[in-house]
Each structure stands twice: as structure tokens, then as C-alpha cells.
Structure 1
Amino acid sequence: MSVATYVLDWHRRRRGPAAGAVTTERRTLYVLPTRAGVVFALLLLVMLLWALNYNASLGFALVFLLAAVAFDAMRQTHDNLLALTLQPPRVEPVFAGQPAALGFGLVNAAPRARYALELTAADGARAVCDVLAGGQRAELVLARPTTRRGRLPFGRVRLATRYPLGLFEAWTWCEFTGAGLVYPAPLGTAPLPGGGGTTPTGRGEAPGDEDFHGLRDYRRGDPATRIAWRRAAARSGLPPVKQFAAPRGDAELWLDWALLSPALDVEARLSQLTAWVLEAEAGGLRWGLRLPGMALAPAGGAAHRRAALEALALHATTERSDG
């Protein structure tokens, strides 16, 4: 076991995953010299040996002055990270293959500003910000790649700083419970079942007598009551004819798992159903979804779309993730 792994396990035992905001404390902050800090310490050692060898008073004064500056920088680096509040991330659902943006909030309640704060995810995603004093909040967004559907755990992040001189680095780990959601990628070439019941307008409407739908040129056989006479008087050629439409409120479409080819694997079926959901919703249809073991009654709207995509994302899985 490496030293880093041992320290991380020890930190987890002291503070496990959090469901809410996390405030940095002295007992969970760690400080070590950076590579530049080690080089600086070696330089001070060489200067001290030189001063001892030549009994140079000014050499001693310079060494002690630089050492005092380094120790004060270590204190400032530590305090730059102390008493910051890291809020759990907000993430919007995405489709597999799209990057998920995890937005962490960082709040500074202290009366002094904090600079050069760096948030790093386990996969290497990184964001840097400054936070002003007096309860100001900054947003750090980490882009996480997604490759498959399911839940996307928030995971562990590392909050660190090297301010002000870069000689020391202070850091802490924060781990949050919860997860984002990754929908199946909308792939597939199969048309909507039954043609989807859509019209060339794509609005889920049918010819009728209820709502005015626009104008078109006169065709032989059109009733005279449908002719827009005022428009006809203003132009030459064929007179315009009013079109009316009736919403397809009673048309229901079922997006059924059983309608897909048995030759397709589970992920291909879910991707095809996802494409159907998006197409049916864009067409303004009333549609329902049937999966093995569950069904969503026909409806429409953004909430119905979200419920269907969530069901597809979590179908037959409780632990799948990109974590």
C-alpha cells in the first residue's frame, strides 16, 4: 500500500462521505512542501553552511529571514484553505457519451478573500477559482466523461491551494454521497411504431374544424366557405384557403420493449427506445413506455419525458456507473 493510499484511507475513517456541505477543519487539513519548497529548503541549508564556514553574520541574518518568510508562507497556505465550505455538486442528466458538468459551490464566510483554490476529481478533472470575502460563493465545474447509462457517483474530490508562494501545498479530501444520472445514448434507425401518428407538420395534429392552422392555395373541390376572400382580393392568382386542424389528444402511442428485434442486446434496445421517446415528445404525441416489469401510462410533457428517460437509464441496474 502506498503512502498516499494509506493517508486517504485514514482520512476516510476520520470523515466519511457527506450528504451535505463540508467545511474544512484544522484536523482534516494537510500541509507538505512542494518541489519548489524542497529546493528552497536545500538552498537555505547551503547558505547556512556557507555562513557557518565563513562566520558571516549577514549570511546568518539572510538565512533566518528567508526561513521566517517560508514559515509564514506555510501558515498562510494553511489558512487559505481553512473554514471554507464546499457544497455538494449539482449535475443535470446527460446522455451517454456526453460530458457531465458537476458544479461544486465554494463559500467563504471569513472576512478575507481566498486565492488560487484548486478542485481536482479522481479522474484528473480540475478547476481553479478565487473566492471573495464575506460569504461570497464561487462555482467550480468539473467535466466528467460518461461512457454508459446509469448513475454517475459524485465520488471523491481534492481541494488544495499553494497560495501565496508555492513553497507549500495544503489540501483536504471531500467525498459526497449521491449521484448524477446518465441516460442511454439515443441511437437506432427503427421508425416510430405505426409511423408515430405524426403529420407532415410534426405537431401531432390532424385535419379538422377546431383550430386555424394557416393558409394554402385553392384546390379544386374546396368549399367556398373556406376561401379567405379578403386575402384573395389583395392578390392575383389562386385565392388562399383557410386550413383548420384538430389536436390528436386521443391518439396514443406505445413505445414497447416487445416491439424491438430480439436480435438486439439490452443496451441497443434501450438506445432505440430513448430515440423513440425523444422523437415522440418532439412530435407532440401522447405516448407511453413499456419495459419488462414496468409501464408508464401515455402522457406528454417534460415531466413525462424525464420519467421515461430515468426509467431507461436505471433499467435492470442498481449499481451501474461511470465511477
Structure 2
Amino acid sequence: MEKVFKINTMKFSNNHKKLTAFLFLISFGMMNAQENITYEQALEKAFQQNGTLKNSKLISEYQEKLKASYLDIPQTEVSAQIGQMNGVETDNSFSISQRFSFPTVYAKRKQMLDAEWNASVINQNLTKAQLTKEVSDVFYRILTLQEKKKVIEYISKLYSSFAEKASLRLKKGETNILEESTAEIQNEQAKTQLNMLENDLNIAKLQLQLLLQSEEKFQPISDKPIMNINLQVSEEMVQQHPELQYLNQQIKINEAEAQLEKSKLLPDLLIGYTNQSMKNLNNSRFNAVQVGVGIPLFTKGQRALAKAAKAKVTISENQYQRKEI
């Protein structure tokens, strides 16, 4: 009985080892499994999952909601008084007042916020264009490296076969050690190139995985691994480039900001209403309407802000001209 038990234990141990090896091979295959993906699918996945593009969309939504903040009116002031204001009798009064900026200020602030929102939309398009370029570069680089790998693998097989034949001829005395050494060196060089190429290929695939913001590994495929590039660039195409459009929009933002800072030199407006009693005269209540203007007497600081904003316009124009060239 003891021998039978030992034999069964050995069988169980062998089966366990086979099962472990089988599961390891399956898991290794799953870890290295790569999903085939076309260029169009890669772009679609990048547009859906890339964090940078998502962030630009959120900024655009934020700027759109911020547009409604142009009508920023100060808090309404409400006050009350009670006491001997007009004589020995106790009187009371209530007043309400509201201060406004000059209407031009609100109009200029609205223009600036609209310009900032337009810039965020253009920046979203620019981010999308940059992402498209990066995905295209990496995608077709992988296809190119894969084709190079096929060529080097073929060359490596030739060198390996040549090295084997040279070694066999050396044993038969049909050649010298120099031919065998040359064949071995060429074979090793081909293997080194293949290893370097494999490393570059893995890095490129990781870059694609990062751009797609995915935990899955992808294998680019294409029936026509050739990019169609139109080398004819017109002036209109240059002006429509998202980066130039964004820089041009920055000029508009700075111009709107300069106009806004300048408009803040205009006077503020004040309107108020007061209702009070005068018991020394009679039991009636008296009303009064107040209208006022806030005259900016000390404008040095605000004028400096307006000049600084105007300087920003010049800076943005220079940036646009440099990029356009």
C-alpha cells in the first residue's frame, strides 16, 4: 500500500507541474496578446480616450460657462436708520442703492470673454491636430520598423546559413579560419541589428499605447502602409492652420483686454431710493431718489494697466508674425 501511495503522489506531482506550465503559457500568451488596429481605429480611440484632448474639451466648456459672468454687478446696498434725525421725535428711514459700471465696461468684458472662449475652441482643434500628427507618426513608424524587421530577419537567416556552411567547409579543409570568422561576425551583426530594431519597435508600441491611453497593447495593421501627403501648400491652408488661428485669436483676446482696461476709466453710475418719516412735520412719509456718478480722479494705476494690456497686443502680434514666417 505504501508503494502505491508513492506512485500516485508522483503522478499527481507530474500532472501538477504540467498544469502549472500550461497555465503559465496561457497567461504569458494573454499578456503578450496584441489587438490589431487600423489607422482610423487608432485615431478614433485616441480622440475618445486621450487625456490631453479631454482636458482641452473641459477647458472649452469652462470658458463657455464663464461667458455669462460679464455682467458682474456689485451687491445692492440696503440700509435703515432710526432715531432723532429731524427733531425730538423718533424717526426712521430706509434706503436702497445700487452701483453700476459704465455700460461700455460690460460690453468690453463680454467681448473679451467671447474671445477667450473662441481661443479655447481653437486650442481644442489644435490639440486634436497635434494628437493626429503624433498618432500618425508612431503608427507608421511601427509599420516601417516591422518591414525593416522582415528584411533583417531574412538577412540574418542568410548570414546564419553562410556561417554554418563556412564552418562545415572549414572542417573539411576547403577554406580557412578567416572565412568562418567573417561569416560569424556578419551573423552577429545581423542579430545585433535585429535586437536593436526589436527594442525600437517595443518603444514605438508603448508610445502608441500611451497616446491611446489604453492598457491594451495594439498591433498596427494596414493594407496600404503609405501616408498620402499633399505637398502643395497654399496661403489659405497656412492661414487655416490651427496654431496660427490660435495665435491670431490671442491677438484678439489681448485687444479686447486692452479695450476693457481702457473702459474702466469711465465713471461709475449710482442710483438709490430713500423713504423716511418726519414726525415733527406730520405723519406722512417722504421719498427721495438719488442719482450719482463716480468720477475717476486717481487714474494712474488704471492707465498703467491699460498701457500694459496694449503692450501685450504688440507681443502677441510679434509671436504671430514669427510663426507665420
TM-score normalised by length of structure 1: 0.22
Write 1 or 2 for the structure with the bigger share of strand: 1
Structure of higher CA gyration radius = 2
Write 1 or 2 for the structure with the bigger share of helix: 2
